[in-house]
Amino acid sequence: MTAEPLLAIRGLRKSFGGLQAVRGVDLDVADGAIVGLIGPNGSGKTTVLNLVTGEIAADGGSVRLAGQEMIGLPAFRVCRSRIARTFQLVRILPGMTTRENVMVGRLFGAEPTTPARARDEVGALLECVGLAARADQAGSQLTYIDQKRVELARALATRPRVLLLDEWLAGLNPSELQIGIALIRRLRDEGVTIVMIEHVMEAIRALCDHVVVMSAGALIASGAPDAVLSDPEVARVYLGEDDA
């Protein structure tokens, strides 16, 4: 752990009408860590990501990346500040090819470059996520899993320091899951700090240095994966809501 966390979330709040979706969340993410964000459906996990990335406006609180405040910035500025994400329900550009989708990240993220250079550079990312053979295929023709790979490559193309994954491993078969786990580990080893929302506990145990649990908009537990996943209160919120 470094003295200053790379990402420091304090008192983050968001209500939708009368529903308090996020009620005062504090979270430190150390540089180089993989942090797991778990909890039952509707507990507020994706809303935290939406607040961090500027996709929706917070009611209160602070999100600092290396000391720089993100709250109040539009989403594209958060991205250029080096926070990137994938979406729970994939959002690729279906009329563009795989390569063009990833180029969008390179052209509009941090340190944007020319289209010609972006075209050359994204080749390595397509290779990294296993999409080199489908570089020129239309996004609309890709399988769901390949669309998830496109989203990951596009996020990486923006050159993030912090990568937020929203159930990126969901829906993978057992061998794809092992490949996905190895890929996330490799990204961390290459210097990307990762926060991952995930229901696949095998992946949480395999990857995370630290796990935090949300229930009804609040953090109810945090710590090392084995300790958190054996916490009776954590089991209760999952099993009680039939949601593990």
Ligand X SMILES: Nc1ncnc2c1ncn2[C@@H]1O[C@H](COP(=O)(O)OP(=O)(O)OP(=O)(O)O)[C@@H](O)[C@H]1O
Side-chain half-sphere of 159: how many Cα atoms within 13 Å? 12
Cβ 178 to ligand X shortest distance, Å: 23
16: contact with ligand X by CB under 6 A: yes
Q: Residue 46 or 147: which CB sits closer to ligand X? A: 46
Give residues 66-125 in contact with ligand X (rule: CB under 6 A). 88
Q: Residue 54 or 139: which CB sits closer to ligand X? A: 54
Q: How far is CA 81 from the centre of its chain?
A: 15
CB count, 10 Å around CB of 154? 27
Q: Counting beta carbons within 10 angstroms of the beta carbon of residue 156, is it exposed (0 to 12), middle (13 to 18) or buried (19 or more)?
A: buried
Binding segment toward ligand X, per CB under 6 A, in 16-24, 73-81, 175-183, 219-227: 16-24
Q: Residue 25 or 107: which CB sits closer to ligand X? A: 25
Q: Quote the tokens at residue 173.
A: 């078969």
> What's the full length of the chain, in residues?
244
Say how many residues touch ligand X, by CB under 6 A.
12
Q: Residue 88 or 137: which CB sits closer to ligand X? A: 88
Smallest Cα–Cα separation from 198: which of 164, 173, 235?
164
Give residues 35-54 in contact with ligand X (rule: CB under 6 A). 39, 41-47
Cβ 125 to ligand X shortest distance, Å: 26
Which of 12, 21, 29, 194 is close enough to bind ligand X by CB under 6 A?
21
State the Cα–Cα distance between residues 111 and 106, nearest whole angstrom. 8
Cβ 98 to ligand X shortest distance, Å: 26
171: contact with ligand X by CB under 6 A: no
62: contact with ligand X by CB under 6 A: no
Q: Residue 157 or 213: which CB sits closer to ligand X? A: 213
State the Cα–Cα distance between residues 84 and 196, nearest whole angstrom. 12
**3 Rama sector, left if φ>0, alpha if ψ -120 to 50, beta otherwise:** alpha
Residues that bind ligand X (CB under 6 A): 16, 19, 21, 39, 41-47, 88
